[in-house]
Amino acid sequence: MSDLTHPAVRESRRSQLHSLRETIPLRSLFRSHLAGSGPTWIPLVLVLGAIVAVSYADHLVVPLSLIYLCILPIVVGATFLRRAISYGLTAVCVLLHDYYSPKGVNLGLRTFHNLTAMLCFALVVYVIRRHMEQREALATTVRQQRDDLLRDVELAAQVQRLFLPSAKPVIAGLEIAGMMHPARGVGGDYYDYFPVDARTTQIVVADVAGKGVPAALLMSATAAAMRFGANHDRNMLEQIQRLNTGILLASDDERYVTLLIAEIDTHGRTIRYVNCGHNPALLFRASTGTLTRLNSSCPPLGLSAEEICELVSADLSPGDVVVFYTDGVTEAGNGGGEEFGMERLSAVVRSGSSLSAEDLMSSIYNAAADFCGDDFNDDVTILVVKCDFDGSSTPIS
C-alpha cells in the first residue's frame, strides 16, 4: 500500500514522537496528578541538588554528621515524586553519606549509623506519602460529591422548569410574555398563566423567601397547589386560603411566600387581583400614560393560619400593559450599593409601553442586568401582559 501521507505531516509526527519519548521517562518519575503540570525537571534537579549539597557539606564538616539535613529535600520530594522514587532517594542519601564519611570509622558503627538514617528517612517518606494520599482521597471524594450535587441541582432545575409555562400562550385579547432567571441553579420564583374559562385567564407570580434548593422545593409545592386550585376553585379568596393552609403545613416558621394572583376578563375588560405581600404590579394606562401600582392587600402566605385578604378590581382598556415582577428586579444592586428600584423600572415600562410584551419583558431584564452588571443577588421573574382587546388572536382551549 502506498504511503499517501504528506512529507510535512510525517516530519511533524516524527518530531512529536521524539518529544513524547523525551518527556515520558521524566514525567514517569512524578505522581500522576502532577505529571502533566509545568516543567518537570526543575523540582527534580532542586531535590537532587539539595541532597548532593548536604552530602558534600557532611564531607567537609568531619566532626559532625549532617546526614539528617537530608530530611528536608526528602520531604519535598515525597510530596510530588512517585513512591519508588521517594524511597530510592533515601538510599541515595545514605550511599552518599557513606561515600563521603571518614574512612577510619568503625565498619559496624558506620553500618548501624547508615541503617538508622535509612529507617528514619523511610519513616518520614511513609508519613508524608500517607498524608498526601489521604489528602488526595479526600479531594477526590469532595470532587465526586460536588459533581453529584451539581447533577442533582441540574435535575432539580429541569423539574422546576416543568412548572413554568413551556409555550407562548395564544389568548384572545391578551399578549403575554414571561421569564424566570434563578440566581442559582434553582430558584424560589414562580409564574404561570392558564385559562379559567373561555373569557378569563388567571395569572400568578410568587416569590418564596430565600434562595436555592429549599426555596425551590417550596416553590414547586406552591406551583402544584396553584394548578390544582385553578382547576377546582372558582373563588380566588378561597384559593388563597387553601394555599396558605398548605404552605403552613409544608414549611417552617422562616419560610413564607409572597404571591400576586390576578384574573383578567377579556370580555368585561377588567382585572381582579389579590396581592399577598408581593411587589406591586405596574398597570400602565395607554390612554393617559400613567402608572398605577397594584399594591398588597394582605400579608404573605405561610405566616398565620388566618389569611384575611381583599379582592381588588380595575378596568382595562386596549393598549394597557400590566407588568408583574419579583424583588430580584427592583433590588438588583450596582457596585455603589444602589438598587435598580421602582423609579427605574417605571421609566422602562413607560418608555417601552408601545413594544410587544416579549420586547418589553426583554427591555426590563436588560435594563436591570446592565445596572447590576448582570450579577443578580436574587431570582428574577418578569411577566408582561399587554391588552389587545381589539385584536384577533385565537383563544386558548
Q: Which tens digits make up the pLDDT trace of 118-136?
A: 888 888 888 888 888 888 8
**HSE-CB of 288 using CA atoms within 13 angstroms:** 8
Structure-model confidence comparison of residues 319 and 249, the more confident one: 319
Q: What is the model's pLDDT at position 128?
A: 83
Residues of the chain with pLDDT > 90: what percent? 29
Q: What is the model's pLDDT at position 40?
A: 55
Q: What gap in Å lies between CA 394 and CA 219, rounded to an integer?
A: 31
Residue 99: band (very low, low, confident or very high) from pLDDT cuts 50, 70, 90:
confident
Question: What is the per-residue pLDDT across 239-251, written as a single tens digit (0 to 9) for each?
Answer: 888 888 888 887 7
Amino acid in position 94: V
CA nearest to 286, candidates 317, 248, 315, 263: 317
Of 18-27, 122-131, 229-238, 273-282, minimum mean pLDDT range: 18-27
Q: What is the model's pLDDT at position 1?
A: 41
**Largest Cα span, the chain:** 114
Residues of the chain with CATH 3.60.40.10: 163-387
169's CB contacts (< 8 A; 6+ apart) are: 176, 193, 396
Structure-model confidence comparison of residues 69 and 11, the more confident one: 69
Q: What are phi and psi of 276, to 5 degrees?
A: -100, 80
Instruction: Say yes or no to pLDDT of 301 above 60.
Output: yes
Q: What is the model's pLDDT at position 375?
A: 87
Structure-model confidence comparison of residues 266 and 33, the more confident one: 266
The burial class, CB within 10 Å (0-12 / 13-18 / 19+), for 173 is: buried
Structure-model confidence comparison of residues 92 and 60, the more confident one: 92
Residue 193: enclosing H or E segment and its boundaries?
A: strand 189-195
How confident is the prediction for the chain on average, in pLDDT? 80
Of 80-89, 130-139, 268-277, minimum mean pLDDT range: 80-89
Q: What is the model's pLDDT at position 291?
A: 95
Question: What is the per-residue pLDDT across 177-221, written as a single tens digit (0 to 9) for each?
Answer: 999 888 876 778 889 998 888 888 999 999 988 766 777 777 877
Angle between helices 41-60 and 83-100 (to 10 degrees): 20
Q: What gap in Å lies between CA 323 and CA 288, rounded to an integer?
A: 17
Q: What is the model's pLDDT at position 62?
A: 59
Instruction: Say yes or no to pLDDT of 147 above 70.
Output: yes
Question: What is the per-residue pLDDT across 277-300, written as a single tens digit (0 to 9) for each?
Answer: 999 999 999 999 999 999 988 899
Residue 35: band (very low, low, confident or very high) from pLDDT cuts 50, 70, 90:
very low
Q: Between the CA atoms of 353, 178, 215 and 281, what dihedral angle is there, to the nearest 10 degrees?
A: 30
Structure-model confidence comparison of residues 271 and 12, the more confident one: 271
Angle between helices 83-100 and 107-162 (to 10 degrees): 160
Instruction: Say yes or no to pLDDT of 169 above 80.
Output: no
Q: What is the model's pLDDT at position 127?
A: 86
Strand runs labelled E in 225-379: 257-265, 270-276, 281-285, 290-294, 312-315, 321-325
Q: What is the model's pLDDT at position 41?
A: 58
64 C-beta neighbours (distance < 10 Å), count? 7
Residue 346: band (very low, low, confident or very high) from pLDDT cuts 50, 70, 90:
very high
Q: What is the model's pLDDT at position 31?
A: 54
Residue 42: band (very low, low, confident or very high) from pLDDT cuts 50, 70, 90:
low
Work out the average pLDDT over 298-326: 90
- Identify any residues that bridge with 293 across adjacent strands, giving them in sequence order: 282
Architecture of domain 163-387 in CATH?
4-Layer Sandwich (3.60)
Instruction: Say yes or no to pLDDT of 70 above 50.
Output: yes
Structure-model confidence comparison of residues 272 and 12, the more confident one: 272
Structure-model confidence comparison of residues 81 and 61, the more confident one: 81
320's CB contacts (< 8 A; 6+ apart) are: 283, 284, 285, 286, 386, 387
